[in-house]
Structure 1
Amino acid sequence: MATTSRSEFGDFLRSRREKISPAELGLKSGRRRRTPGLRREEVAELAGIGVDWYVRLEQGRTVSPSDATLDALASALRLGKAEAAHLRALARNGDHRGFAPESVPPVIERLIKSVNLPAYVTGRRWDILAWNAAAADVLGFDRLDASNRNILAFMFIETDSRRLFGRSWTDEARRMVALFRATHDLHAGDPAFIELVERVRAHSPEFKKWWNAHDIRGSTSGQKVLTHPERGAQRYEYATFQANDDPALKLSIYTPV
């Protein structure tokens, strides 16, 4: 694995190990534990691998785990589907293309502008690249400072996001952190991703806390309650679609329930 991927791989293993209670697995407490969660040797035993091998993985040293080892680690750490996929993606070195802002093909811009439902396009770093009038009305993207036209920055730097999500802001913001973490770790070390995370971290103690938890979620469709300044709260169903023109581009559409 490349250096940055090895580091994120090890950090992810450590974060999952520290979240598991020995009691959950029927392990005896034994001698006093100085750190939360399982010990390294316990994970190694559960996964059926050598302790030194596991320590090397957590320390980000040059090793290449096999698919069988990754499956064993996922089982030992009780990873969910999204977490196991993230572990495998990190082991495959992530995405080492240098980041450059994407451009939205004119046909996609015309498509979203022709839709009466809130719709917008984001890029690999979650930059908000294009949106229609309905998205501007409901989500307020027209009011964003150019430097904050990014979903993560919008959630944690722009104050309008708290008004928009109301009582559900905390749950939605935590979900966003876990979703973005899955993307970020595949681009670890890229200056553009580092700049964004550090800028958001400096503005939000909540983000800093949740970011350090290293939670991972997979992207899904669902429902959100959004509060319009004039029309009040309204429930929307939302779904996201990947563009064939450029897989980094994602189209999000909201439908009132």
Structure 2
Amino acid sequence: MMEQPDPEAIAETGAAIAVDQLTMKYGSNLIQENLTFQVQKGDVFVIMGGSGCGKSTLLKHMIGLYQPAAGTISYEGKDYFSATDAQQLEMRKRWGVTYQSGALFSAMTLAENVGLPLSQYTRMKSSEIDDLVRYKLALVGLSGYESYYPSEISGGMAKRAGLARAMALDPDVLFFDEPSAGLDPLSAKRLDDLILQLSHSLGVTIVIVTHELESIFAIGSNGVFLDAQTKTQLDTGAPSYMLNHSSQPLVRDFLSRGQGHQPISGEVGQ
């Protein structure tokens, strides 16, 4: 039997999330195996790797959508998949999740979208919810857009509105799946800046799936690199450290756009 992670040891490291010997499969199709890494509290943790390596699949395991074929995913020492339904629900209330499209309900205004988790999971009065919704939208630069519908705003604004909804319950951890997908470079930069601002000002732990190198170096403080060929992780650590010190040529090539171990000008050591 696989040795279970020691909750006290995890707590001592400051880990918000500990993944231990994780194996992911679709039926008999192996996606990744033997994944072991920790997300420290306050990290902007980047799940990176080439196309088809299982980045989004790993994220879906981490938010409880998929059951691991083997291994554990623990939150502050508690294995999510061995927890009771009630315990799992309490864990999920401490997470916020954003999706590539923003995943807003088209028939609801931005205020109604952001207020939905509050009306479902709290006993707040409608006036209190309205005040908090305005605050959350203001945090992401959407003050004054409360009555707008998703079809009336841009793609970048929809992603920010989705982020406001993910923050509605003041989560400890925010999960992002390709937040810059479909955005122009300027909008993507603004979203990166917003993610960093929220991380620094609110102390939220962030887990993000992306293959955008500019975003990886701009916001990533820690991460894991998945490989589609070997179907396991090749390295873990800060992206800038992996770029210069990884023992894996594939990792260095990926992070330097094929330039080996040389840092990308303007992206490392800022």
More RCO (CA 8 Å, sep 6+): 2
Name the one with the larger strand percent. Answer: 2
The TM-score with structure 2 as length reference comes to 0.28
Q: Please state which structure has a larger fraction of its residues in helix.
A: 1
> Structure 1 length normalisation: TM-score?
0.29
State which structure, 1 or 2, has the greater radius of gyration over its C-alpha atoms.
1
